Structures are given as structure tokens and as C-alpha cells.
Amino acid sequence: MTDGSDDIQALIALMARLPGLGPRSARRVVLQLIRRRGGQMAQLAALMERVAQNSRECLTCGNITDRDTCAICTDPARATGEICVVEDVADLWALERAGAFRGRYHVLGGTLSALDEIGPEDLGIPALIDRIARDRISEVILALNATVEGQTTAHYIADALEGSGIAITGLAQGVPIGGELDYLDDGTISAALRARRRI
């Protein structure tokens, strides 16, 4: 009985395992939830309960949804000929917040990794190839992270689609908006210099 009741201790231990938290943050979060009036913890618990019960992966694209097929895949206003391939649902959300893409997505759920024994099947790449063949896709945008793993995976998919006549593109690399050269890594600066454009 150091950290209050057993339930409180168990809650802290569970929260401490969440990404970005740790034992200290978990203790602060739980204390704040207990202290706040207005039943905030009960509200959070009820929402979690509902999300846990209703969330599943879209059978078409892998997005998280409460239906068989997600709202993006069923939106008639979105172009069906462009598929944007992302590593993770968080990346899909980031692109949607930017509001710059109006086609459909495909969520891989990771990257190829020999070390972790993650192969093309584990990422649904065969399903992606099938989908591209079936749906008359004109462009596949490989919006994978600019990491070694992301780019290895992008090259694997690009190779698999070679000769299909489909445009395979990737996100431009360069200096982020508002980015200061002094704070950027050398790789980004080199890539931005190589891809320089007339202004």
C-alpha cells in the first residue's frame, strides 16, 4: 500500500506502459483525474469502453473505423484513382489534417524489417497490389517516413508495381516550412540542395 489502493496502483502501472508516459507521468495523470471534479475520469472511462468495443480496421484500407469500411473509402467525393500509402493510421490522420489529399489511402501498419521478421505479407502488400490492379488506380503516392525502413519499404512497393503503367510518386524532401537550416540535420540540407528549384 504505497500508492493508494490496489486499483489505483494497477491503473498507474497500466498507464505507465503507454507511449510517452512513464511511472512519474502516469502518477500525475491518475492523481489529476482523481482530483478533478465533474467526473472527468468516469467520462474518460466510458469513452474508452465505447472506443474499445467499436473500433476495428477498415477492410479496404486499414484505417480505424467503427464500420466495415471507413468513411474515407465510402466518400463519393474522393478520387478513387489515387492511393496514398502510409505506414500508420497516425500518418493518415496527419495527411487528413493537412487537407491536401483527396484520394484514398492504404495503411501498411509498419515497415519491412528483416530483423523483426516483418515481410510483405505482414504489411498487406500483396493485398495492396491486388487492390491497385482491381480498382483502376492511376497514381500511387508512397507517403512513407523519410527513414531507412520507410524508404526500403517504398522501394519494395515501387519495384513490385514496375511495368504496371501506374505513376509511382513520393513526398518531396526538403526544408520544412519555417525550418531553420541551423537546426536541420545534414541529410535534410543535402536533399534540399540536390532538389533545388528556380525561384
Contact residues for its own copies, defined by CB under 8 A: 1-5, 7-8, 10-11, 14-15, 18-21, 25, 27-34, 39-55, 63-66, 71-72, 88-90, 93, 96-97
Provide, rounded to whole angstroms, the least separation between the CB of residue 74 and its own copies: 11
Provide, rounded to whole angstroms, the least separation between the CB of residue 168 and its own copies: 26
Which run of H or of E encompasses 153? helix 148-160
Q: Rank residues 15 and 106 by Cβ distance to Zn ion and give the closer one.
A: 106
Q: Rank residues 48 and 71 by Cβ distance to Zn ion and give the closer one.
A: 71
In the block, which residue shows the cell 486499483? Answer: 7
* Binding partner of 58, given Zn ion, its own copies, none, CB within 5-8 angstroms per partner class: Zn ion
User: Can you read off the three cell numbers belonging to residue 13?
Assistant: 502501472
Provide, rounded to whole angstroms, the least separation between the CB of residue 7 and its own copies: 5
| Distance from C-alpha of 135 to C-alpha of 144, rounded to nearest angstrom | 22
Burial of 65 (0-12, 13-18, 19+ CB in 10 A): buried
Q: Rank residues 21 and 129 by Cβ distance to its own copies and give the closer one.
A: 21
| Distance from C-alpha of 169 to C-alpha of 144, rounded to nearest angstrom | 11
Q: Rank residues 74 and 164 by Cβ distance to Zn ion and give the closer one.
A: 74
| Distance from C-alpha of 98 to C-alpha of 150, rounded to nearest angstrom | 20
